[in-house]
Structure 1
Amino acid sequence: CLSGLLYGFSGFTLVSLVFNHFGEVVAFFPFYLLAADRLAQKKNYGMFSLLTALMTITNYFFFLGEVLFLLLYLLMRYGTGATRHMKEKLSLLARFIAELLTGVFLSAFFLLPSLLAVAGNTRLSETIFDRNPLIYSDVRTYLALLKSLILPPDIIQGETLFGTEEGTLASLSLFLPLFACCGVIAYFIQKKGWDFFKKLCLVCLLLAVIPLGNSLFVAGNATYYTRWFFMPLLLMAVMTASAVESFEPKPFTIGTLFWGGMLLFFLLTNIITKSATVDATGIFLIKNRSSYETELTVGICSFLILVYLVWILKKDTKKKYLTAFLGAAILCCAATFYLHMNTGSKQVTDSGRFIYKNQLAADTSQFLPKEDDFYRFETDTGSNHYILTQEMPSVSCFLSTVSGSIMDFYKFAGITRTVSSQIPYDRTALRALLSVRYFLQDAQMPADPGDSAQELLSGYQSVTKENGYLVYENKNYLHIGTIFSHYMKRSEYETLSDAQKDAVLLHAMVIEDRDCKNLENLSGVTLLSAGDFKEMTKDSRPEDDEKAQCTALNQTAATTFCYDNTSLTFTYDHAKSGLAFLSIPYSSGFTAYVDGKETPLFVTDGGLMTTVLPEGTTKLTLVYREPGLVPGIVISLIGIALLAGWVLWHRRFLKKVRSQYT
């Protein structure tokens, strides 16, 4: 009961509340570990496979880290020591691998399409070997790890002491309410020998302080994440509960003194850096001091309660002191949770919250695309999620698991995209290309106040103010399905200046060199060289050129456009021959049909799509089938068959073995 309480209200759980897709993983993992134990002990067959499938489907991001932790767990618990023969250890490993693979097979209907969807995402290609794999470049990372053991966690985007830019979203916390690391220290002292808890705890600590070790839990990715800490926290919670159940004064005294000493250090850091005579910069800079002082208050109050329990409370009966520890843990868990939530809530003022709720309730239907029409919206950097609530087609997005083609497009455009899609304000040609018609700016709490006059968004006109949002309209944007008469080789495009690169996108489709041979000698399509483009636009102003090109291209746009879950349909009034530009991320799942006849799709502008339209085309249809879905379903069916055979065979085998001994 105590260990479950500490695990459920651990610092990791608190700091990760903002990520609403983390909770299920934390909740299911103890059962996953239990299933691994029962498989190792030959008490249950098949359950580990089912839970493997569940954990994979629940959140595939965590899955590799969970498997690594389970391997370490099984190695430390069942693979070391002389009590088991090598044959038995190999048999355990074989059972684990067999059920693990079966579970992966079961989840393939979901896992395979998911992996294919994010393949090519640049966040996957950045590995730990792109940085120092042995030492963290910022010493504050080590100090932040120490702090995470002693104090409750910072809120997301509200770092305090030892906060780093890369650590603010890392879910960095190893804090247990009431005990912090005291119970773990007591366990190490009072439990003689080296059991698997101690070994695994030290291995996790070693992996946490080495960048390469930490990155193993996120497939070797370069981004600093500690989102695997819920697993060692489960160990720490069990070790703490075990130490309390077998309470000994001396080990707990040592653990309490260590925690108290560290709290004193963090308290003195706050007092000294708060002094007007001290210039607290660098390592000891405290951001969001009020939040830090709240963390200190929680830590010190928890410490004082623990001091009473360890040194003052009479422990004449085991039931009495266990009840006292449990009651104190409930109190500290509730207080820590409340204060963490309250600290996060204070980041937004009451007036700001009121404004935000009104903005969410805004009626934007007058701006949404009407039937058979299509255009996109854009917001300032502080309103990415507002677009989602209004169901607006948008180029603004805060999401890391986007299509690799989107990442390719931003790379093509020279824009660094990590977790957010944001087009620099001076890139008006890109906005025109992507059919951006409206720009919404938060008038109450602008994220980019310097741009409120729209000086950088040339060509935009103020339309209205709707529930706290300034609405600007762009007259120069491409309608959906426009037809280009020119294309340019990617190699030619790369020779242009940055300004010319944007401008040429409204004159020609930029096609990968390898695909250009498929467009040679096509009617209505002409190759445009970089030199010809420079000559063509040498006497025109960029804004005039954008307006002229949008006007001309829109004469060729689709007359109607509609889409559903599986297809997109463009209709034309006898289109001219050329390249139909589709401002949609390329995917191998799309198949194009021109008047019912299948036609190839090409990658254009780095990651978008185009296809050839013959003269007189009336209908272009893109049919989408999720890549990997059908093979994934087939693999899952194979997994079901394997699981059924595996379970039935072991039931018969166990029944036969039991009959021999009865």
Structure 2
Amino acid sequence: MKKELNGRNVFLIAFAMALICFLPFLIRDRGFFIYFGDYDSQQIPFYIKVHEAVRSGKFFWDMKTDLGSSIYTSYSFYLLGSPFFWLTIPFPKQALPYLMPFLQMLKIALASLGGYYYSRQFTKDDRSACLGGLLYGFCGFMMVSLVFNHFGEVVAFFPFYLLAADDLAQKKKYGVFALLTALMAVTNYFFFIGEAVFLVIYVLVRYVADKQYDTKDKLSCLARFAVEGLSGILISAFLLLPSLIAVAGNKRVSETIFDRNLFVYGDIRTYLALIKSLVLQPDVINGETLFGTTEGTVASLSLYLPLFAFCGVAAYFMQKKGWDFLKKMCMICLFLALIPLGNSLFVAGNGTYYARWFFMPLLLMAVMTAIAVEEFERKAFTKGTLLYGGLLVVFLLIGMITKSAFVNAEGVFLIKNRSDYEMEVAAGISCFFILAYLVWILKKDKKKQYLNIFLGAGILCCMGTFYLHMYMGAIQVSDEGRSVYKEQLFMDMSMVRPQAGEFYRIETDHTSTNEMLTQDMPSVSCFLSTVSGSIMDFYGFAGIDRSVASELPYGRLGIRNLLSVRYFLQNEKNSDDYAFVDQGLLAGYQEAGEENGYSIYENENYLHMGTVFNNYMKRSEYEKLSDEEQDQVLLFALVMEDDKTAEFQKTKGITELFAEEFQQQMQKVAFDDTVKQQCMELNQTAADRFEEGDTKLTFTYTKAKSGLAFLSVPYSSGFTAYVDGKETAIIKTDGGLMAVPIEEGTQELILIYKEPGFTAGIICSILGICLFAVWIFTHKRGMIKL
């Protein structure tokens, strides 16, 4: 084997390539990387939020994440378990946007390094292995993962995970697979489910189904994987178990594949988009071009390899005789991708169409391409290249014909974001011409020389297509938009910041959904899909769709007051939505000033924390009201499930309110006049002081009245309530919030929070470490031979 390249060289080459791609954007914004979409609105704010929480030692309940959620579980999907995130902890939060692009470069370099080491198992020349690694590190999935920053670490670690599996199966190298199982599970539990499914198929196809192993060897192999896999999962339980418990109550998890057709996609464009993903580099997220579907806008659909696309895989199929495990795995993945049920196996049975497992077959495709190049056969590559060129011609013709004034392109062949499509086709054609030269013109008499040229062409195309994808994403944000984003990210919002002991929430317009996360201030505006499941329940109860973001319709004044929304911030520099100002939709709000480009509007009628309600309404009565009345009644009564009212009826001063009674009351007076008086009366019963911590919420009263203390905190089984030191039941109200019965004269109400599943997870992790230690010890001593 040629030794002119090694792992260090491959890592440095990949890092340099990524740096060159990022450099124009870093120069433009003076080191501050601004992209678009989720990267700006989620990834950067999440890094800042969790970075500051970790540095202050707060890991659990946080009243600034939506209506209140656990940091430990809400951010474990995004970054809390990522080693890349923990590298930022020594740095100040102002450095994070400058560090994040370099972390992404590191992920790309590690993915390329892992791809190189994995490819080296099957190639004879390190240049071929390097090509395979770079194709994987700069593949289409890594391109679309730029906007979803937290996907990159999974792609980076996966080749090492497969290498550990191969070492455990072939060389009986114990321990590494277990540790990497724990790492993969902690890094991202959602992706880990898909990785586990892929790994099971991989082991069965490569080792169990291989005739060179006898039955004893196969059973021994499976036993090794079972023990190490179990120990790895147990080790990760400290984070994995609480996260899975938390996400089980999430609305997005409840929508499973069984809610749709199991065997056929409902839109033919999904199948056509799969073909397109093999030929052209991917669309930017939410910027679909041809064959875009509603469900596929954020699917991360790409099976693209720079320069070669699918050509190298096609050549491999023709060059290699018989059916080796790479061919079998490739065909199994293709089959599973073509049916909804098969695809859903890799995404935890989710009903939404996601292709967020395609990085795994892409690794195998990169390896197959590297092998095909090293064992180059002109005939096989000619067929693959001609098929690739033919499909490029089809996509070119679609673009030309649908652009014609004589054609009204609708339906299947409708092209959105045409400029992006034309750039993708142009990039594909450029890669094709380079490939055509390599296949048909370049002399192959000297392997070293032609492998150098293939590798150089691969590097060029990897960088070119990757930069183009970055460019298409970056131009979605204007120069002014980038400037405003940088200016407002670390702004001082002292005018609206709550003082010690008081609590209220802030609402922002849609341009600044997660802005308050970076300010560490409570807000009802939140773009985070893994919040407490009770938040989903509450919004569902209120008739508001809450999928990935919390946004209150402008007309819902009752719910704003209930949730203690004191300020509305209108971003005067970025927003194009002035509906509430122009149409007076937020009655009771007064303009209070301006700060850092935001117009501030103050709500005079917001409820203070811990107000005491004396009325309750059964859910069955609530559902008799109109939508407008349902919003209004939230300020007059707490809505309970019919079968739960017995839990608090012994509390003094509690009266049931009926729908008809409420309707009669509202007919007598105008709601706008009544709401102010009602909020004033309720606020007289509120806690005088509210103190929050990540394991304790304290409400202090001086003149408490009997009734139900309403806490606009999402219900969680992790909370235990103590009223003046006596444990008291917590009641789930308004679909997903909390109330606690208190008596007259109550001085202190305390909620103690213990992360559900955390203690059990720690115990499981200790057991996993013990199992791992025994496993390693017994093998080193030769006590067990598997």
Same fold (TM over 0.5): yes
TM range, smaller chain: over 0.9
1:630-645 correspondence runs (5 A)? 630-645=759-774
Q: Aligned match of 1:492 in 608, 621, 624?
A: 621
1:615 counterpart = 2:744: yes
Q: Which amino acid aligns with 1:75?
A: L
| Partner in structure 2 of residue 660 of structure 1 | none
Provide closer, same or farther for how the CA distance between residues 656 and 133 of structure 1 changes in structure 2, counting only shifts above 3 A. Answer: closer
Q: Which amino acid aligns with 1:336?
A: T
Q: Aligned match of 1:510 in 636, 639, 647?
A: 639
| Partner in structure 1 of residue 718 of structure 2 | 589
How far apart are residue 373 of structure 1 and its match?
1.0
| Partner in structure 2 of residue 457 of structure 1 | 586
1:253-272 correspondence runs (5 A)? 253-272=382-401
Q: Which amino acid aligns with 1:569?
A: T
SS in 1 for 2:553: coil
Distance in 1 of aligned mates of 2:500 and 2:514: 24
Q: Which amino acid aligns with 1:176?
A: L
Alpha-carbon displacement from aligned partner over 1:438-483 (angstroms, at most 9, x marks no partner): 1112223325344442522222222223333222111111011101
Q: Which amino acid aligns with 1:184?
A: V
1:448 counterpart = 2:577: yes
| Partner in structure 2 of residue 245 of structure 1 | 374
Q: Does the aligned pair in 2 maintain the 1:454–1:460 contact within 8 Å? A: no
Q: Aligned match of 2:467 in 331, 335, 338?
A: 338
Q: Aligned match of 1:68 in 189, 197, 200?
A: 197
Distance in 2 of aligned mates of 1:202 and 1:456: 56
| Partner in structure 1 of residue 62 of structure 2 | none
| Partner in structure 2 of residue 41 of structure 1 | 170
Q: Does the aligned pair in 1 maintain the 2:721–2:727 contact within 8 Å? A: yes
Provide closer, same or farther for how the CA distance between residues 574 and 148 of structure 1 changes in structure 2, counting only shifts above 3 A. Answer: same
Q: Aligned match of 1:220 in 349, 360, 371?
A: 349
Distance in 1 of aligned mates of 2:555 and 2:152: 40
Q: Does the aligned pair in 2 maintain the 1:119–1:403 contact within 8 Å? A: no
Provide closer, same or farther for how the CA distance between residues 655 and 528 of structure 1 changes in structure 2, counting only shifts above 3 A. Answer: closer
SS in 1 for 2:714: coil
Q: Which amino acid aligns with 1:170?
A: A
Q: Which amino acid aligns with 1:82?
A: K
How far apart are residue 86 of structure 1 and its match?
2.9
Paired residue total: 657
Q: Which amino acid aligns with 2:352?
A: T
Q: Which amino acid aligns with 2:691?
A: C
Provide closer, same or farther for how the CA distance between residues 253 and 134 of structure 1 changes in structure 2, counting only shifts above 3 A. Answer: same
Q: Aligned match of 1:425 in 541, 548, 554?
A: 554
Q: Aligned match of 1:178 in 292, 303, 307?
A: 307
Distance in 1 of aligned mates of 2:549 and 2:379: 52
Q: Aligned match of 2:565 in 436, 452, 466?
A: 436
1:31-110 correspondence runs (5 A)? 31-110=160-239
How well do the aligned residues superpose, as a CA RMSD in angstroms?
1.5
How far apart are residue 98 of structure 1 and its match?
2.0
| Partner in structure 2 of residue 275 of structure 1 | 404
Provide closer, same or farther for how the CA distance between residues 259 and 436 of structure 1 changes in structure 2, counting only shifts above 3 A. Answer: same
How far apart are residue 334 of structure 1 and its match?
1.0
1:537 counterpart = 2:662: no
Q: Which amino acid aligns with 1:442?
A: N
Distance in 2 of aligned mates of 1:507 and 1:656: 70
Distance in 2 of aligned mates of 1:177 and 1:432: 54
Alpha-carbon displacement from aligned partner over 1:523-569 (angstroms, at most 9, x marks no partner): 12222222332233331222223222111101111111111221111
Provide closer, same or farther for how the CA distance between residues 656 and 30 of structure 1 changes in structure 2, counting only shifts above 3 A. Answer: closer
1:165 counterpart = 2:302: no
Q: Does the aligned pair in 1 maintain the 2:609–2:690 contact within 8 Å? A: yes
Q: Which amino acid aligns with 1:444?
A: K
Q: Aligned match of 1:351 in 465, 480, 505?
A: 480
Distance in 2 of aligned mates of 1:656 and 1:251: 45
How far apart are residue 356 of structure 1 and its match?
2.5
1:605 counterpart = 2:734: yes
Provide closer, same or farther for how the CA distance between residues 577 and 548 of structure 1 changes in structure 2, counting only shifts above 3 A. Answer: same
How far apart are residue 141 of structure 1 and its match?
0.9
Q: Which amino acid aligns with 1:28?
A: F
Distance in 2 of aligned mates of 1:365 and 1:478: 21
1:652 counterpart = 2:781: yes
Distance in 2 of aligned mates of 1:397 and 1:550: 25
Q: Does the aligned pair in 2 maintain the 1:381–1:447 contact within 8 Å? A: no
Distance in 2 of aligned mates of 1:616 and 1:485: 15
Q: Which amino acid aligns with 2:677?
A: A
How far apart are residue 593 of structure 1 and its match?
1.4
1:229-244 correspondence runs (5 A)? 229-244=358-373
Distance in 1 of aligned mates of 2:195 and 2:379: 35
Distance in 2 of aligned mates of 1:528 and 1:617: 25
1:330-409 correspondence runs (5 A)? 330-409=459-538
1:288 counterpart = 2:404: no
How far apart are residue 655 of structure 1 and its match?
8.9
Q: Which runs of 5+ in 1 are unaligned?
A: 658-662
Q: Which amino acid aligns with 2:493?
A: T
Q: Which amino acid aligns with 1:302?
A: C
How far apart are residue 654 of structure 1 and its match?
7.3
Distance in 2 of aligned mates of 1:514 and 1:643: 48
SS in 1 for 2:510: coil
SS in 1 for 2:573: coil
1:564 counterpart = 2:693: yes
Alpha-carbon displacement from aligned partner over 1:596-652 (angstroms, at most 9, x marks no partner): 222111101110001011111111111111111111101111111111111222223
Alpha-carbon displacement from aligned partner over 1:580-600 (angstroms, at most 9, x marks no partner): 000000111111111222211
Q: Aligned match of 1:528 in 639, 649, 657?
A: 657
Q: Which runs of 5+ in 2 are unaligned?
A: 1-129
Alpha-carbon displacement from aligned partner over 1:290-322 (angstroms, at most 9, x marks no partner): 111111121111111111111111112111111
1:121-160 correspondence runs (5 A)? 121-160=250-289
Q: Which amino acid aligns with 1:349?
A: S
How far apart are residue 50 of structure 1 and its match?
0.9
Worse-superposed segment, 209-218 or 541-550: 541-550
How far apart are residue 78 of structure 1 and its match?
1.0
Q: Aligned match of 2:597 in 468, 483, 486?
A: 468
How far apart are residue 289 of structure 1 and its match?
1.2
| Partner in structure 2 of residue 112 of structure 1 | 241
Distance in 1 of aligned mates of 2:731 and 2:742: 12
How far apart are residue 6 of structure 1 and its match?
0.5
Q: Aligned match of 2:754 in 621, 625, 646?
A: 625
1:328 counterpart = 2:471: no
1:27 counterpart = 2:152: no
Worse-superposed segment, 289-298 or 196-205: 289-298
| Partner in structure 2 of residue 299 of structure 1 | 428
SS in 2 for 1:574: coil
1:479 counterpart = 2:608: yes
How far apart are residue 496 of structure 1 and its match?
2.1
How far apart are residue 656 of structure 1 and its match?
8.1
Alpha-carbon displacement from aligned partner over 1:248-286 (angstroms, at most 9, x marks no partner): 111111111111111111111111111122111211111
Provide closer, same or farther for how the CA distance between residues 438 and 253 of structure 1 changes in structure 2, counting only shifts above 3 A. Answer: same
Distance in 1 of aligned mates of 2:579 and 2:311: 50
Provide closer, same or farther for how the CA distance between residues 90 and 239 of structure 1 changes in structure 2, counting only shifts above 3 A. Answer: same
Provide closer, same or farther for how the CA distance between residues 655 and 430 of structure 1 changes in structure 2, counting only shifts above 3 A. Answer: closer
